[in-house]
């Protein structure tokens, strides 16, 4: 094995002087830069690693369907298929005013939602950025922060006269991490995902923890429903578009939800629920193929990400398709090529060695760069990593970003196809409400999902149409809270005037 060149480029001599250097073989070009031909040779290797054929996709879909069925049949499965106790579709005529709190992977969001009926709504919201330290703090401290932010928001609405003082507000709590629920206002955290690791939270009822923080901060709100952003997206999207049958999140994490007949959920048969009643299922499909790793096309870069994560072996599907990891996949490939003496010879590449320093947003910008000289890529590598690139390298990086992003979208299509196939939606067709930064901002992500569905199903794949979903963590949580409100609260008028 050759000595690692990663981080090479300069050394500091005892005199304090800096000596720059690079390493190349005798058959290399005169300039220490990767040539167009050499980069094309490397690109072919990565194309073979990251390209998903239609046949392979269909195999993944079948395995995915089996995992969904297993999760419905028995508790404690890899894909948990969590019953949400959200029954039936909204009518679109729901009205009222509700608070919603969304603890997401990147931000904490608090909302005041007015449902106006006829699929219409108004929403006022504030957003608070979560630090990496907060994601790892003790769980009760994290919920204290959530309560403090909500208190600030509610106080501002009271001061402006929008919310009436001394009224207990119904609250829908969007908590997008796998929880075990036996009722709508209860949920024990199974495991953290999306890089969270707050201690003393897994195995605990997060509603009880949040209620404790609300009481501590004297917030005039009562949690009446716990949901995840995906279930909320399912309900909110159907409120506006009744053709919606599935909801997906493609962002920092990934997930899906859909409506299932209670009679087709064997693991809750003992509850005596009417078999024809429909209940939303929170799939938590980011866990598909975890531990055994038998079905997904994991590369060595995916394995490195998994092994160095805070949850090795878990969330296998999420680690291949979510926004948290795509940039890191590309960074690991770049570092490998630096080690092999292919890229950035004679330059100091230490900034590229920092894990997760290559944000997935960079991939999005690289793919969207329309200029002949790929100026956006020049800016990314110069500004953030202090390295110069050649045109051949920039073209290679753009093609590599496309491979990584396309694989993520086609794998996402496999998940959608598994639910469509299981539920028999293909012939009639259905709409899929999709949200998240990847779906909304990554160039071509939605189009690649549609291409993937057609590769799996043929022409009938066109019957499945994804679209930008309504705000599940705000509007969806409010609708769900509204359906649960009467059994928890007597205060039904929240606003003193319309928004």
Q: Which residues are catalytic?
A: 176, 191, 229
- Beta bridge partner(s), residue 19: 11
Helix (H, G, I), strand (E, B) or coil at 9: coil
Helix 54-73 × helix 445-457 angle, to 10°? 90
439: left (phi over 0), alpha (psi -120 to 50) or beta: alpha
Q: Of 172, 224, 100, nearest to 485 (Cα)?
A: 224
Q: Is 72 in contact with 281 (CB distance < 8 Å)?
A: yes
The secondary structure of residue 34, as a DSSP letter, is -
Extract the tokens encoding 452.
Answer: 């993937």
Sheet containing 278-282, strands listed edge to edge, beginning at the edge strand earlier in sequence: 82-87, 278-282, 254-261, 244-250, 430-435, 464-468
Q: Which residue has the tokens 């390295």?
A: 387
Report whether 181 contacts 207 (CB < 8 A): no
DSSP lists the bridge partners of residue 432 as: 246, 466
Contact between 435 and 233 under an 8 Å Cβ cutoff? The reply is yes
Report DSSP letters for 251-266, one per residue.
SSSEEEEEEEEGGG-G
Convert 280-307 into a string of H (helix), E (strand) and C (coil).
Answer: EEECCHHHCCCCCCCCCCCCHHHHHHHH
Q: Do 470 and 237 form a contact (C-beta atoms < 8 A)?
A: yes
Q: How many whole angstroms separate alpha carbon 31 and alpha carbon 271?
A: 72
Q: Check: CB of residue 234 under 8 Å from CB of residue 435.
A: no
- Is-contact 407 320, C-beta < 8 A? yes
- Nearest Cα neighbor of 245 from 458, 426, 482 is 426
Token readout for 406 is: 């396309």
Q: List Cβ neighbours of 141 (8 Å cut-off, separation of 6 or more).
A: 198
Contact (CB, 8 A) for 206 and 179: yes
């Amino acid at each position: 094995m050759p000595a690692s060149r990663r981080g090479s480029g300069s050394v500091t001599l005892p005199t304090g002087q800096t000596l720059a250097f690079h390493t190349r073989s005798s058959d290399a070009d005169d300039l220490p830069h990767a040539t167009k031909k050499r980069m094309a040779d490397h690109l072919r290797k990565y194309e073979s690693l990251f390209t998903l054929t239609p046949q392979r996709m269909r195999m993944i879909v079948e395995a995915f369907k089996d995992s969904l069925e297993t999760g419905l049949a028995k508790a404690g499965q890899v894909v948990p298929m969590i019953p949400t106790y959200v029954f039936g579709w909204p009518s679109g005529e729901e009205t009222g005013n509700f608070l919603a709190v969304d603890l997401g992977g990147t931000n904490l969001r608090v909302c005041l939602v007015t449902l106006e009926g006829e699929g219409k709504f108004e929403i006022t919201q504030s957003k608070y950025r979560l630090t990496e330290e907060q994601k790892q703090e003790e769980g009760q401290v994290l919920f204290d922060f959530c309560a403090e932010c909500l208190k600030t928001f509610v106080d501002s609405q009271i001061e402006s006269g929008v919310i009436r003082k001394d009224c207990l507000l119904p609250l829908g709590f969007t908590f997008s991490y796998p929880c075990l629920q036996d009722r709508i206002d209860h949920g024990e955290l199974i495991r953290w995902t999306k890089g969270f690791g707050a201690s003393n939270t897994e195995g605990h009822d997060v509603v009880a923890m949040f209620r404790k923080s609300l009481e501590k901060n004297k917030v005039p709100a009562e949690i009446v429903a716990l949901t995840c952003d995906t279930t909320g997206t399912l309900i909110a999207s159907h409120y506006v578009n009744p053709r919606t049958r599935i909801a997906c999140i493609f962002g920092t994490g990934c997930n899906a939800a859909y409506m299932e007949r209670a009679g087709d959920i064997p693991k809750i048969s003992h509850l005596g629920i009417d078999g024809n009643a429909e209940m939303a299922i929170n799939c938590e499909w980011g866990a598909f193929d975890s531990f055994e790793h038998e079905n997904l096309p994991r590369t060595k870069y995916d394995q490195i990400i998994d092994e160095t994560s805070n949850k090795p072996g878990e969330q296998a599907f999420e680690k291949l398709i979510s926004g948290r990891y795509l940039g890191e996949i590309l960074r690991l490939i770049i570092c490998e090529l630096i080690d092999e003496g292919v890229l950035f010879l004679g330059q100091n590449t230490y900034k590229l060695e920092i894990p997760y320093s290559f944000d997935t947003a960079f991939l999005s910008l690289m793919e969207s760069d329309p200029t002949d000289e790929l100026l956006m890529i020049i800016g990314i590598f110069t500004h953030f990593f202090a390295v110069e690139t050649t045109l051949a390298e920039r073209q290679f990086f753009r093609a590599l970003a496309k491979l990584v992003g396309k694989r993520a979208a086609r794998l996402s299509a496999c998940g959608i196809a598994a639910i469509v196939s299981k539920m028999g939606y293909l012939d009639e067709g259905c709409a899929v409400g999709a949200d998240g930064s990847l779906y909304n901002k990554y160039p071509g992500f939605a189009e690649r999902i549609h291409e993937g569905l057609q590769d799996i199903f043929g022409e009938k794949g066109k019957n499945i149409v994804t679209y930008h979903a309504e705000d599940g963590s705000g509007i969806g949580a409010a609708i769900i809270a509204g359906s649960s409100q009467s059994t928890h609260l007597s205060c039904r008028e929240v606003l003193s005037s319309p928004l």
